[in-house]
Amino acid sequence: MTKNFFYLFMVLGLALVATSCDSDNECDTTCPAGQVQLLNCSCATDANTITPHPCPDLTCPAGQGAVIAGNTCSCQALASSVDPCDATNCPEGFICDGGNCIVDPAVTQIIDKSGEISADETWTAGNVYILKDRVTVTNGAKLTIEAGVVVKGEAGTGANASALLVARGSQLMAMGTEAAPIIFTSIADEIMPGQIVSPNLTPDVNGLWGGVIVLGNAPISAANESDEDVSEVQIEGIPTSDANGLYGGTDAADNSGTITYISIRHGGSNIGEGNEINGLTLGGVGSGTTINNVEIVANQDDGIEWFGGDASIDGALVWNCGDDGLDTDQDWNGSCTNFLVVTPVGGSGFELDGPEGSTQRGFHTFDNGALFAGGEVDHLVDWDGSTNAAITNLYIFGLPEGYPTDFPTPIESFGGDGSGTSSAWEVTLPAGAGLDILGDAAGITTEVAVGSQTKGPRASDFPWTWANQSGALGSIGL
C-alpha cells in the first residue's frame, strides 16, 4: 500500500456519526460494523479493523480503544467503559440496573401483618408488607420502616378496614429518602419497591383501604356531649370499641416518631355512616414528632387532618383527595410549610376549625403554599368564627371559568377569630373575574399570571412524588 493510498484509505474510512447520549452515559444508538462508540456517544472507525494496522505500536489503557481521528490514530474513551451504576448507591434490598435502583428479586419478600405490634419491630427495605386488617403499634413499641418499603392494605370497610394505627406512647419511624420513599397503598396496586408511578392504578382511584393514623399525648381542645372539657377522645375512623384509638393529653412536646418521604395512596375506607379514614391523621401528636415530605394521593376523605396537638409538617403534597385537602380541628398549635394542594374533589382546599372546648393555646399557621382549585372544589378556604389559624404566602390558581357562579363563597369567614394574621396571597383569576370574588381576602391578595407567582413551592421541590414524576404538576404550571 502506497503512502498516499494509505492516507486516502484512512480519510475515507473515517466515520464519525453523531448520536444522542443519556445522562447516565448510556447511548441511544448502536454503531455499525467496524466502528466503536466513544464516551460522547459518537461513532468512530475502529483502527483494529484496518489491515495492516495503521498504528501497530499504539497501546491504549483499559477503557479506551485505538481509533482513527483525522490522519492519525489516538486512544479514545469508549462509552462501554462507563458503568452508570458506578455513581449509584442503592439502599439495602435493591440492585442497580442501568443506573436505576430496582428491587432485588433475590431478597424481596411479601410479608403479611395483622393485629398488634407490641414490641420494637423493623420492616426491611426492599420488602412488601401486607396490612391484613387494622395493624396497631401499641404498648410503647417502636415500628421502624426502612427506605423503599412498600406497604399495601387489604380491601375492607367498617371495623375490618385495613390501616396502620400508632397508639399513644408508641412511635412510627418511617424514614424514607428522596431516592427511595416509603409507599403506603392498596393491595390492588401492582407497584413494587423501586417504582414510584403505579403500573396499574390511576391517581384518582380512592377508598381501597384505610390510611395512616398517628396518635399522641399532646393537648387538645374538646368537649363531651354535655359541653364539658375532656382531655382525650376517640379518633375518627377507628371504632370506639378499640381503646387504642384514644388521643390527647398534657405533653405538648410528645414524640410519636419520625415520618419522612412517605406517599399514602388510594385510601379512605368508610367505616360506617360517612366516617372515612384520612390519608394521614394526626391526633394529639406532639412537637417532638418530626414530619416532612409527605404525599397523599387519591384519598376518599381528607388529605391530612390534625386534631389538636403541636406537630408540624414541612413539605406536604395532597393530590386528588375526595374531600378537604388540609383539615384542622381542636386547637391544633403547629405549622404546615411548603405545601401543595391539587384538585380537591368536592371538598375545600382548607377546612379550618378551631377549639371545641374552652381551651385555646394560640393558633396554627400555613406558610408558603399553593392551591390548584380545579373544577370540583368547594371553598378555597373555609374558616369558621372560632378558627385560630393564619395563612401566609399562599398562591391560588386553577379556578374554573365562571367561578364562583355555581359555587359557594370562595373564602368563608375570612380570618376566623382573628388570633392569627393572614397575609401575602397571590391569585391567578379566571377570565372575567376580579379580586372581589375573594371577599375580605381581596385586601391581602395580588393578581398574578401563571408562572409569575412568587409564593408557594414548585414541582421541582417534590421530585420524588408520584404527582411530579407523572407530569401532573408540570401540566398545571408548577
Q: List the grid coordinates of 68.
A: 482513527
d(CA 435, CA 443): 9
Cα-based distances in Å from 369 to 13, 232, 451: 60, 31, 15
Per residue in 38-84, pLDDT tens?
Answer: 888 888 888 888 888 888 888 888 778 888 876 788 888 887 666 66
What average pLDDT does this structure show over 361-365?
Answer: 97
Cα-based distances in Å from 43 to 8, 12, 75, 149, 404: 20, 15, 14, 42, 60
117-125: which pairs have CB atoms within 8 A and are 24 or more residues apart? 117/141, 117/143, 120/144, 122/146, 123/149, 123/151, 124/92, 124/93, 124/149, 125/91, 125/92, 125/93, 125/94, 125/149, 125/180, 125/193
Phi/psi of residue 315, nearest 5 degrees: 95, 95
Band of residue 272 on the pLDDT scale cut at 50, 70, 90: low
What average pLDDT does this structure show over 354-382?
Answer: 96
**Taking the C-alpha atoms of 239, 243, 248 and 250 in order, what is their torsion angle to the nearest 10 degrees?**
170
pTM over 0.85: no
Say what the pLDDT of residue 24 is.
42
d(CA 375, CA 274): 23
What average pLDDT does this structure show over 316-342?
Answer: 97
Q: Greater confidence, 71 or 5?
A: 71
Least confident segment among 6-20, 143-157, 183-197, 300-314: 6-20
Rounded to the nearest angstrom, the gap between the alpha carbon of residue 467 and the centroid of all alpha carbons in its chain is: 7
Say what the pLDDT of residue 267 is.
96
Q: Greater confidence, 404 or 32?
A: 32
E strand or H helix that includes residue 124: none
Please state, as a whole number, how many other Cβ atoms lie within 10 Å of the Cβ of residue 112: 10
What average pLDDT does this structure show over 216-229?
Answer: 96
Q: Greater confidence, 432 or 4?
A: 432
What average pLDDT does this structure show over 412-439?
Answer: 95
d(CA 128, CA 183): 10
Per residue in 116-171, pLDDT tens?
Answer: 999 999 999 989 999 999 999 999 999 999 999 999 999 987 767 899 999 999 99
Say what the pLDDT of residue 11 is.
35
Cα-based distances in Å from 120 to 49, 116, 228, 253: 64, 11, 37, 22
d(CA 326, CA 316): 10
Going by the DSSP 8-state scheme, the letter that residue 447 receives in this structure is E
Handedness of CA 88, 89, 91, 95 (dihedral sign): positive
What average pLDDT does this structure show over 271-277?
Answer: 68
| Amino acid type, 234 | Q
Q: Greater confidence, 107 or 38?
A: 38
Going by the DSSP 8-state scheme, the letter that residue 17 receives in this structure is B
d(CA 183, CA 282): 18
Q: What is the largest CA-CA distance in the chain?
A: 109
CB 117 within 8 A of CB 143: yes
Indicate if the pLDDT at residue 297 is higher than 80. yes
What average pLDDT does this structure show over 28-41?
Answer: 82
What average pLDDT does this structure show over 240-267?
Answer: 96
Average pLDDT, the chain: 89
